[in-house]
Amino acid sequence: MKAIVCTKYGSPEVLQIKDIEKPIPAENEVLVKVYATTVSAADFRVRSFTVPLSFWLPARLALGLTKPRKAVLGMDFAGVVEAVGKDVTKYKIGDPVFGLMGERFGGYAQYLCLSEDWKGVGVASKPNNLSFEEAAAVPFGGLTALYFLREAKIQKGQKVLINGASGSVGTYAVQLAKYYGAEVTAVCSAEKLEMVKSLGADKIIDYTKEDFTKSGELYDVIFEVAGKASFSDCIKSLTKNGTLLHDVAVPAVTIRMKWASITTGRKMVGSGPDTNAEDLAFLRELIESGKFKPIIDRSYPMEQIVEAHRYVDSGHKKGNVVITIEHNK
């Protein structure tokens, strides 16, 4: 089968299409014929080895010393069940599915195998009102946003600010915060204002013209998705019982969050999501009821994977960048 293989750490050019062995499902696994995947933040970070300096050695040991241990990247996927192991009961051949590979990766291939039972990674029935490309854009960003906002226990009428509202996680965070009844302020660049506004944001701040931490406005929840705002300024912009959600907390920030939690009494959430099938099913219900949707900026065929990663590297994407996987070659 064809797969996009990351041959070493570096620029998008390290990604190459190669023939690799097609996987065979184990007794409790499904074999998925993949039609679409994405270029997620995790794919970008692993391919380019973009990690904080304090993470350098642990990341090399975890990801691979000279090249990624998981040569086939791809966190998200959508496709059709091609085969099932003898013990599989939840899915049958021909079922349209989508899901998350997590740290296993593997979505950048024509086929992948995974257990029908969710264990940090997994598969679920695809929303019936989404294409495969749209469905592939949901798991990573959607589940991350859902995890953090649930940790904040948002109440109706609370003021929520999302810094980095135009990316994959941010576009889902805006929609979910509105679903939970919050008053949402979204921070992004000027060219993305209208797109974010269309998702339901009550107020938009162009970060190139205004620093939200200098306005004197206080928020019940600040979701730091971009990772660019000053930590101390974010704390000052929280209400007395406010919550700071930090999607990209480096070790130094994690330590400061723990200390701030003790000294200020405010809630700090900086760990990544523990994903499960129930949460993805919840997002599917919201999608099918029209309350939640993926935003796709661009779609590339797998032959243009280098161009796709190059575009994500530019930092200008809105929502998600999707890769379509062909099966006629």
The per-residue pLDDT for range 34-46, each reduced to its tens digit, is: 999 999 988 998 9
Residue range 245-297, pLDDT digits in tens: 998 766 667 778 888 887 888 899 887 777 888 899 999 999 999 999 999 99
- Report the predicted TM-score, pTM, of the whole model to 2 decimal places: 0.93
Give the span between the Cα atoms of 160 and 259, in whole angstroms.
23
Average pLDDT over residues 205-233: 91
Q: Domain check: are 52 and 110 in the same one?
A: yes
Tell me whether strands 320-324 and 296-301 are parallel, antiparallel or unpaired. Answer: parallel
Q: Domain check: are 253 and 320 in the same one?
A: no
| Contact between 132 and 268 (Cβ < 8 Å) | no
Q: Pick the more confident residue, 159 or 274.
A: 159
272 Cβ contact list (under 8 Å, min separation 6): 144, 147
Collapsing DSSP states into helix, strand and coil, what is residue 151? helix
User: Is residue 210 domain-resident?
Assistant: yes
User: Is residue 287 domain-resident?
Assistant: no
Collapsing DSSP states into helix, strand and coil, what is residue 282? helix
Q: Domain check: are 132 and 249 in the same one?
A: no
User: Is residue 279 domain-resident?
Assistant: no
- Measured between its terminal Cα atoms, the distance across the chain in Å is 9
Give me the CATH number covering residue 226: 3.40.50.720
Q: Domain check: are 113 and 151 in the same one?
A: no
Alpha helices, DSSP H, located in the chain: 41-48, 56-63, 132-136, 139-152, 168-179, 193-198, 231-236, 251-264, 277-288, 305-313
Q: Is the pLDDT of residue 121 over 60?
A: yes
Which pLDDT does position 187 carry in this prediction? Answer: 95
What is the span of the domain harbouring residue 202? 140-269
Q: What is the mean pLDDT of the chain?
A: 92
241 Cβ contact list (under 8 Å, min separation 6): 220, 265, 266
Where does the pLDDT of residue 93 fall: very low under 50, low under 70, confident under 90, or very high at 90 and above?
A: very high
User: Is residue 160 domain-resident?
Assistant: yes
Tokens standing for 164?
Answer: 């980095």
Lowest mean pLDDT among 4-8, 82-86, 246-250, 256-260: 246-250
Lowest mean pLDDT among 50-64, 90-104, 159-173, 194-208: 50-64
Q: Domain check: are 27 and 130 in the same one?
A: yes
Q: Is the pLDDT of residue 54 over 70?
A: no
Q: Domain check: are 257 and 308 in the same one?
A: no
Tell me whether strands 238-246 and 267-269 are parallel, antiparallel or unpaired. Answer: parallel
Average pLDDT over residues 172-183: 97
Where does the pLDDT of residue 231 fall: very low under 50, low under 70, confident under 90, or very high at 90 and above?
A: confident
Q: Pick the more confident residue, 276 or 86.
A: 86
186: enclosing H helix or E strand = strand 183-188
Q: Domain check: are 6 and 130 in the same one?
A: yes
The count of structural domains within the chain is 2
